[in-house]
Structures are given as structure tokens and as C-alpha cells.
């Protein structure tokens, strides 16, 4: 990782990374859920790690967490600063690439919540699950499945299992929650890394 990345202020509690969309055109139901999650995480004492943007679900979650008195760390590649508009009221780290962004978000987090989003959100969670498939980490991954948003993705994962590309155990690599309250309950139950192995080749 680049030595030019500024140091992140220490935090003694647990941190949850939120992957979510940055589009202001998203259904307001999804934006409201992201805001509710940010506020709930802050009130529960979790530091929110997110993509650094001030727009879409990203901005809504960060603002809500900040307004609820929580710690927030945004991580943003320099080339996206104008497009996703930094939320400067919270601690923000600017990195040089998408890879650095994802690696730092992973390093700074004890658990991951995946809210609705577009191709960027999908790319982030697929890499995270790929690392889990290869037994490179056991951190909890929670899908915030608002309105069944992620059902088609789960169907694709089941097809991957049914066609022999992925072991059946991999379907246990994440938890599905339909509401923010359910997601918070899973986080409250503990973010202890799983020892379940998925790479059975």
C-alpha cells in the first residue's frame, strides 16, 4: 500500500464497512435504509467505514452516522473526488486507486454490510467474496436485502453451486438481512471471523 496514504486516527472499537451505491437517482427507499443503517451503527458504537462520497446511499449513511455522533472514515480514490463529491465533515482518506481503496476498507473493518448499489458495489462485494472463497479472510459479510434487491445475485450464486463451480458451503459465506434492524442484530451477535473453509479444490 502506498506510503503516502495519511494515517487514520486510531479507534478502539469495532468498525463496519458499508458497500452501497453513490447514485442520487436511486429509489428513496434504499437511501433511507442506508441512512438508517448509518445512524444505527453509530448509536451502537460502530465506526462506519465507507467509500468517502457525499452522494447517493454513501452520503446518506455517512451523514446519518456523523449526525448521530458516530466515527466515520471515508476512503476515496483521487480520480473520483469530483464525481462522488467528498463528504468533508468526516475523516476522509484519499488514495490513488480503486484497489487501494478496497484494500484499506478491508483492513480497517471487522465486518461488512452490502446495501443496494450498482456495478461498483457489485464489484466490491464480489472481490470480497472471492477472497472469502479462497479462505483469505473470515470476516462477516451481511447483505442488506432491502425489498429483495439482492435476490438475483443469490440466484446466480446458487447456479454457480448447482453447476459445480462453487462448493455448497460457500452459500454460508454471507448472511441475508431484510431490514436494518436485522443487520444490526447480526452485528451485535459478534464479528468473530468464521473458520469455515470454502476452498475445497
Q: What is the CATH number of the domain that holds 152?
A: 3.40.50.450
| Residue 2 in domain | no
Note whether residue 119 is domain-resident: yes
Average pLDDT over every residue of 44-65: 95
- Predicted confidence at residue 121, as pLDDT, reads 96
pLDDT-derived band of residue 79, with 50, 70 and 90 as boundaries? confident
For the chain, what's the residue count? 201
CA atoms of 1 and 133, how far apart (whole Å): 23
Residue 3 has pLDDT above 60, yes or no: no
At residue 2 the predicted structure's pLDDT band, cuts being 50, 70 and 90, is: very low
Structural domain for 138, as ranges: 15-188
- Mean pLDDT in residue range 94-110: 92
What are the C-alpha distances in Å from 79 to residues 97, 116, 155, 169, 188? 8, 23, 34, 38, 36
Q: Does 23 map to a domain?
A: yes
Residue 143, phi then psi, degrees to nearest 5: -90, 125
pLDDT at 153 over 90: yes
Residue 198 inside a domain? The answer is no
- The answer to whether residue 180 is domain-embedded is yes
Query: What does the pLDDT average to over 79-91?
Result: 71
Residue 38 lies in a domain: yes
Q: In the block, which residue shows the cell 433511507?
A: 32
pLDDT class for 1, splitting at 50, 70, 90?
Answer: very low
How many structural domains compose the chain?
A: 1
d(CA 19, CA 122): 9
Confidence of residue 196 (pLDDT cuts 50, 70, 90): low
- Which residues, 6+ apart, have CB-to-CB distance to 51 below 8 Å? 19, 20, 22, 58, 74, 75, 76, 84, 101, 105
Is 193 within a domain? no
| 128 found inside a domain | yes
Amino acid at each position: 500500500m502506498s506510503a503516502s496514504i495519511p494515517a487514520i486516527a486510531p479507534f478502539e472499537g469495532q468498525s463496519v464497512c458499508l458497500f452501497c451505491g453513490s447514485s442520487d437517482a436511486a429509489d428513496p427507499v434504499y437511501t433511507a435504509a442506508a441512512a438508517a443503517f448509518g445512524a444505527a451503527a453509530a448509536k451502537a458504537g460502530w465506526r462506519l467505514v465507507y467509500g468517502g462520497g457525499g452522494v447517493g446511499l454513501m452520503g446518506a449513511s455517512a451523514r446519518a452516522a456523523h449526525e448521530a455522533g458516530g466515527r466515520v472514515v471515508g476512503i476515496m480514490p483521487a480520480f473520483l473526488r469530483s464525481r462522488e463529491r467528498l463528504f468533508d465533515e468526516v475523516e476522509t482518506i484519499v488514495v490513488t486507486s480503486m484497489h487501494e481503496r478496497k484494500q484499506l476498507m478491508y483492513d480497517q473493518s471487522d465486518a461488512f454490510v452490502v446495501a443496494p448499489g450498482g456495478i461498483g458495489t457489485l464489484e466490491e462485494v464480489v472481490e470480497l467474496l472471492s477472497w472469502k472463497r479462497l479462505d483469505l479472510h473470515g470476516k462477516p459479510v451481511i447483505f442488506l436485502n432491502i425489498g429483495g434487491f439482492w435476490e438475483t445475485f443469490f440466484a446466480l450464486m446458487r447456479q454457480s453451486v448447482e453447476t459445480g463451480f462453487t462448493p455448497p458451503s460457500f452459500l454460508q459465506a454471507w448472511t441475508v438481512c431484510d431490514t436494518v434492524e436485522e443487520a444490526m442484530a447480526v452485528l451485535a451477535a459478534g464479528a468473530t471471523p468464521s473458520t469455515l473453509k470454502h476452498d475445497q479444490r
